[in-house]
Structure 1
């Protein structure tokens, strides 16, 4: 009798991968790509948002962009200028512990402990269209609370007219700060009535999980009728002020980036048209919608020349 020793790679049949699972290998590969694109976050944080974000309060009317694209294609210059840089380099950001100082012209200034806020806030999920000034767009299921609820908590004074935001400015955590592309730290601002609008969201997550670092962890703003750069990421301070605050892109290039930065297909960027956009995942370009398809904000700008106040 000839004896054939079993090779080192031999496995018993009971350990073979079931055929249906093998045939679904594309989904498995996709999940591995997603895991690589999205930095790990604390499991408790993921579970907490997943439990609290079960109530979807707004639909975009079209399917959300896949999470791998939302997490892997970003503008976050604090981590580099290439769209893939934030996903590759944002692991250096430490989103916990984190505090946000809220003050200025308010009756009740406060220091917001973000971990505690995330554990206690009444989160909801809203699916919003999101458009970049460069012409690409996504549909994202954000997890957040109306920013108006935070405004009401600090009680702005009567002469507060604007809200000024600032991003973290730590070169050790954000290697892109070594580039002079902007005057760091990043700053943004809204009129207080814009900030109070029900669409304006203070977001701590997307797709039911806490925000990945490259998407603005641990807290960011989402203003869906404006270009994406108005939705400031990784916020460390919020101040209520009487006069229009300086904002990073408006300071860097006022001819190209106005303070309002509303999505308006009739007002071109000086270097390209804003009339059409490309949804990530699609090859065709689609017409750009005024206010990104949120006509309910039009009353905020009644009587304004939207070409002058762009």
Structure 2
């Protein structure tokens, strides 16, 4: 099992004036900072605490480290700041963007990531959390692009693989490229109508399980409008990749649409895994290739 791991900076790597500005948001000097591993960003992801017990979760990145990560951080600030306070997502304590650093300060959620392979109780809790989100975020509370804008290029992955097939392409995939291309096109078309603000990046490492078993959905840079069921398909995809029972998620969804979307994402992951890794994210291509490989058994069986 692979994880996406960025080469993160930490709290002490931030310029003093940036740390001071964050401390003003939190309400006191930070005396403890614990960096969180995992994820795709090379920026900070620190649980911090002050001497009087105030806690926060600090995310900060500079365009000098990775321009795309800074763009995504700006999107996350805008989206997270617009989320209603009652939904299972972290509250924003403050943010700023001085051109050199993009900073988001969130409440620190007490919790841990779901265990993988996924356990039934966490799957059911995730479905409950995503249902709450979909109800609260339909229609979307802010203007964001449709998810098809984000996926149209990625879902052409099988076509690019057909045009320039790698020598190590899975033999079944190589023999069924027309069917995989058609499935990806159907999947993209299925996403063309929807006004729900979807998270669009539902994975175990973007979820926290509270001590009482309730789940909180974190990391919102990819938010886009999509059908109300889209995040549940992404949950089923992650369960398929990491292990668990995706049938608990998709029982009332159109199975062909789920398979078509799996095909689109598998083509995206397999195609993009051929590119060099971006700055500060040395393992992301191997992670993407692994996801594509893990999705193929489902696609081969269902398609």
Q: TM-score, normalised by structure 2?
A: 0.34
Structure that is richer in helix per residue: 2
TM-score after normalising by structure 1: 0.34
Q: Which has the larger radius of gyration?
A: 1
Q: Larger strand proportion, structure 1 or 2?
A: 1
